[in-house]
């Protein structure tokens, strides 16, 4: 097969750019896939300060890089540096996956929403995004990707509550009337009749207070997920499981969001399975 990235000299390079980046699990994730599929390539962590981002992105293709993931604090800034931005990334207002195309142009996409949906489909094979209203708690960058993906997948209504109401209002004005903004202090009410419930805040992460939303009216038919994956089992998920709901942890979203990048850069559709989970958790 012809090398799709001649500049990489047959050894494609990719990596994750963040500041800081040492905490990122992406290098372990991609290393697992590279080894598993016997691909001669590398995926490296790159700690890049914001003021150096443009220079680094300009230089990477010349050094054999075929793409990169971007993480905090660069996810928004890359939109103005890319030559082509996917509609999805533009609507979300952030990108996490860059591809350095052979024609020299940089393509920015956002795969968080894809990862979110793929994780729920894998975790609960009978889950249907169009089965009923979704309730999303939080309105940060991750919540925007979740809302975008749920709307694309046919969710009839998305109720959203956020501590800072203005951010939720912005999601409604960007994504349209299927989004309904609810009061933060009454977030429990939006669980009434919800088919899908999502914690998209950072509450419940190790070292942070748990997300405390009353679940008295949550139906046992609802599928509940948390974007937080440290710990894997958040108090929010435990409470939902106690009510009889099927729950899906956030690690799978991280694993699935990486798949489109790996496929574009290394030419192989990777599998998200328990071996990968173990490798990333190790």
The only residue of 167, 170, 172, 243 in contact with ligand NAP, by rule CB under 6 A = 167
Tokens 């975008």: give the residue.
148
The only residue of 9, 62, 164, 269 in contact with ligand NAP, by rule CB under 6 A = 164
Tokens coding 281: 């958790």
Dist. CA 51–CA 34, nearest whole Å: 31
Assess 186 for contact with ligand NAP (CB under 6 A): no
Dist. CA 161–CA 111, nearest whole Å: 23
Q: Based on CB atoms, which residue is closest to ligand NAP, 106 or 139?
A: 139
Dist. CA 281–CA 150, nearest whole Å: 27
Least spacing, CB of residue 85 vs ligand NAP, in Å = 18
**Is 239 a known active-site residue?**
no
Assess 280 for contact with ligand NAP (CB under 6 A): no
Dist. CA 261–CA 228, nearest whole Å: 22
Least spacing, CB of residue 16 vs ligand NAP, in Å = 13
CA-based nearest residue to 144, from 103, 94, 202, 204 = 94
Give the active site residue among 5, 32, 75, 88. Answer: 75
Bridge partner list, 45: 16
Kindly identify the residues of this chain, within the stretch 198-237, that bind ligand NAP according to CB under 6 A.
200-203, 205, 227-229
Assess 162 for contact with ligand NAP (CB under 6 A): yes
Pure H helices in 60-208: 77-81, 87-92, 112-123, 141-152, 165-175
Assess 112 for contact with ligand NAP (CB under 6 A): yes
Assess 269 for contact with ligand NAP (CB under 6 A): no
Catalytic site residues? 75
């Amino acid at each position: 097969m012809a090398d799709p990235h001649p500049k990489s000299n047959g050894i494609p390079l990719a990596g994750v750019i963040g500041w800081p980046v040492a905490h990122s699990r992406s290098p372990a994730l991609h290393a697992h896939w590279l080894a598993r599929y016997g691909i001669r390539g590398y995926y490296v962590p790159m700690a890049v300060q914001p003021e150096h981002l443009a220079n680094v992105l300009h230089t990477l293709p010349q050094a054999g890089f075929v793409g990169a993931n971007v993480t905090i604090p660069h996810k928004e800034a890359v939109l103005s540096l890319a030559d082509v931005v996917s509609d999805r990334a533009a609507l979300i207002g952030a990108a996490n996956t860059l591809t350095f195309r052979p024609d020299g142009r940089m393509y920015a996409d956002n795969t968080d929403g894809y990862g979110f949906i793929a994780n729920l489909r894998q975790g609960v094979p009978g889950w249907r995004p169009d089965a009923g209203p979704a309730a999303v708690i939080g309105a940060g960058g991750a919540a925007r990707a979740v809302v975008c993906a749920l709307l694309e997948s046919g969710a009839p209504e998305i109720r959203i509550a956020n501590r800072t109401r203005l951010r939720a209002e912005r999601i409604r004005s960007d994504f349209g009337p299927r989004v309904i903004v609810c009061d933060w202090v009454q977030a429990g009410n939006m669980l009434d009749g919800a088919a899908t419930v999502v914690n998209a805040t950072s509450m419940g992460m190790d070292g942070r207070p748990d997300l405390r939303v009353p679940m008295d009216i949550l139906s046992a038919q609802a599928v509940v997920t948390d974007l937080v994956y440290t710990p894997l089992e958040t108090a929010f998920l435990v409470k939902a499981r106690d009510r009889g709901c099927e729950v899906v942890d956030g690690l799978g979203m991280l694993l699935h969001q990486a798949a489109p990048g790996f496929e574009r850069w290394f030419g192989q559709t990777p599998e998200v399975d328990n071996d990968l989970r173990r490798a990333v958790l190790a």
